[in-house]
Structure 1
Amino acid sequence: MESWVGLKRSTNIPDKSNCVVHITNLPVTIDYGTLFSALRGTGKICRATIAGSEAFVQFWSLDGVTRLLEKRRHGLFIIGTQIPNVNISSTGGERARKTTLHSRVLVINGPSEIVNYEYLRKYFSDRFKYSIESVEITDVQRDRQTMRWSFASFNTQSRKAWTLLGEEKKKAYETGDTNSPWKDVWFSYESDPCQPYQAIVPLPRRAPPPPIHPLPHVGQLYHESHPPLPSSVSWGHDSGMCNEDEEENKSKSIDWSLDQNVSSTSSNGDSDQPYRTATHTTSLPSQTPPCTRELFHSRRHSC
């Protein structure tokens, strides 16, 4: 495992740029699970090393250092019954790392014959040294299983595990072994549980949709424009050649046109007497035949 004990501090990294903290006055029985649990909400951690009753923790950025120092200043950094001391490390220093999706936490999914604690523990132990915060089974589906391995370090632990799993999967494809369970193994990094909770930023409001015009109510009236009354020329008859049947048909057509053009002051008027509610008089066109004009006036006065 990694250790900062005995290392000399680089003179090129000032305290304000150093992401490594030295934690002392820890319980003698301290373990990685307890240490990381106390560091929840401070920041993403790149690596941590416990040496007796002290520890060195490298944060991914300076924000983690600031939050931990504030937590200690307010007396909120407590492990067991002890309040540890936190200072910028003087035996080793590291600058902030670039923001990436890599982390010390690895999620592995695949056939249960490979993705299980006993198999992976031996597989990793035979190839590199590592320390574990926790190992969890997050999902089980028939003959497949998903596990979350939270290592103590990214540099030489979770990244090493990622590389080894990738090599095994690649080898299974290159050899053409269709029965190899490694072909069905999938893995990815996951967020560090020590990262602070991110504020939920609301999405920008979209432009309101165009208004939808409602359907007309029952009985709602619409005012429509109608063509002018037809002239005698359009009928194709001379004013003196109209017989009684043709005159009656023309009269009905004119009455219907007038009924559509004359405005009414009330929608509840008698349907049999549409002209009684007219607000103004309407004169016939100058080209109306005399016989039709007389018939119109006689019907109007009879109402």
Structure 2
Amino acid sequence: MFAGVTNGLELIRESLKAFRRYPSLLLPLLGCWAVYAPVIVYFHFLFPWDAYPGGQQLLVLLGIILLFSFLLSASCLFLLERIREIETAESMGWARSMYGVAANLLRALPITLTWAVIWFVITVIEMLLRRGHGGEDEEGEGGPEMDTEMTAENVAEVLGGFGDMSFSGAFFGALKKGVRMLAFLILPAVAWEKRGTMAAYKKGLGVATAQKSEFASGFVLTELLGAMVFLPPAILFFLSDKLEVTFPDGVWFLTIIYIGFAWSFSMLLEQLFTAELYLWHLLWERDCDRARESGDPAPSLQGVKRPSFIDREPDLSRAMGRV
């Protein structure tokens, strides 16, 4: 278990190094944020939910989740294509790269849809439990609902996810994050190994099972780093809500911009971590096959040189048997 935590920590460090070396990796996720933010704001503050029956409301919610899962899958596939180019020192040009991402996105569509459905089910269960709790004790531990008046502060609060700080909110947030990271771990099987849907599911989930300690430690560490990144706006909301400090709208507009970068950075860490873990697993499998052929004991993951996206070594090519 300790080795798994150590491995997970090293992978996080490599992810941070990769970001410092290639900050442009953040651009696809900033593009996702440019769509995510207005959609969330519109459907939270402006959409007439009461004008639609429950079934239609659920369809709208499903559509929103499908859009977000598609955008995040696309951003992850952009990242994987960029990593492939870095690892192979091969630049295919913008047009061919876009074509490759589009082709991978089409192959990964069943994975994206499965992720969206699971995300939707978790969200509906969360909503039902909240509603049931509120019906029993409207002023109990759940607290009052978030203010729906469209002010700069409330918009920042919604986009930053600071509206629900309860235990149940944290639990369901962790469930959604776990499913998201599993999806990110499955996508390299499509982008790098060109596997079909069922084979990609099997490979990605197999990596998570075989390297469960590393995956779990990466889950926790990315959550901790994300919490650190979101600490400045959390302090502002604490000062505003608990100490009743009034900030001008300009502060909240800057906070919204900061939250956009923080959200994108947190997602990028998850994507980089899962990509590096997948690549390390491929290298481990290769060494295990070689050890089996020579009659030697199989190495541990720790015994296999950890890949890096910035060391100019063709780890991906070696893992795919091209070097």
Asked if these proteins are the same fold (TM beyond 0.5), I'd say no
Greater relative CO, 1 or 2 (CA 8 Å, sep 6+):
2
TM-score by length of 2: 0.17
Q: TM-score, normalised by structure 1?
A: 0.18
Say which structure is richer in strand. 1
